[in-house]
Chains A and B, each alone.
Chain A
């Protein structure tokens, strides 16, 4: 139960951060990505602030060695840059650039956004499901070790 509450509180804080920073608005995100247009650098400030605090948290977590509510830290150990990583990131970036939604803001916008938000989220979940079922062959041939999540 404490683990569930901790995850809930983190999710709540994450969503609030996306709202305060206005990253829930795809137009705001696209304005950042549009570096050749009327550029809005706000997203860089969001990322900068988030990376600094997450980095501090990582430092403390590593020094402690174990988390407060779980037996061990589950941090990805892989360091190799493989074709799957690059291809996946490239595809994600195209989708991100088309609408301006990445997974976090899309989910946070679900409860108050227009009809386009649930459509995008449904397609995103379908894409995740497709990854689980469709390209089994590709996955087996490229995957030598167990798939670990970076995020």
Chain B
């Protein structure tokens, strides 16, 4: 019997796994953003000494994993499983990093929702007694995403006002079955929701229904209210997607405005950095959580956090064949015990 599942889509961990350490590493543009002080490392050159953007992204992910493990005073072979993903075809950033790290790998694709998906699976492994230490990680890189999904960097086109800026960065979280860090108490697995958005420059709108659905389901399943959380933060809806999600949740009967924001909004200063609707990418929620949010949890400035990474399951193939862009969002509740 599924004793740890509650409601429609939520897992309640009976011995909540702890997030022992986190590490975040970002590109130069993110390093000029408002959360700059919280990253472990800011690159001066987003090629990171590699020959290609793809290998640079892979190195970012490998570095984040290595830093998180060393912060926990552990060695790489101490880790049972690595769980991660990125945006690139065949998950090349993750797989090439895992090849070098020689860790058993669960490779995930959930577009930009992958970070919470990885934490969720990691927590399931720990709570189920299948592992003691796992590392959950994701990465994204502006230049790899542009060339795979959009246009060449030097093409002289205009970005739409609702478009978002893919974050260059990687975050890694080391989860352990016991420890003093913040704990993962609930995980709500999202459904794929598609309300027919066909505008590739408006991913926020494509993902907002999934985010609203997952948050509403999480609150219904757990019997919690929005006010039970100090902060509810989505992954990369951007400022227009956030507003749409607020409207949709209102229809579901949840008024969530005050303690609700988005990692994509927080990571860049839109006015100074010209990022339009905000940041996006697998790395967005990963570096915001592993940098800024984790610190807030440790300092107990935030005690109950709902992190909802959001992914637009966009494929150039299906899009060119006339399909709309489905969205998905996974939520994890992270809590810091004590006063």
A pairs with B: no
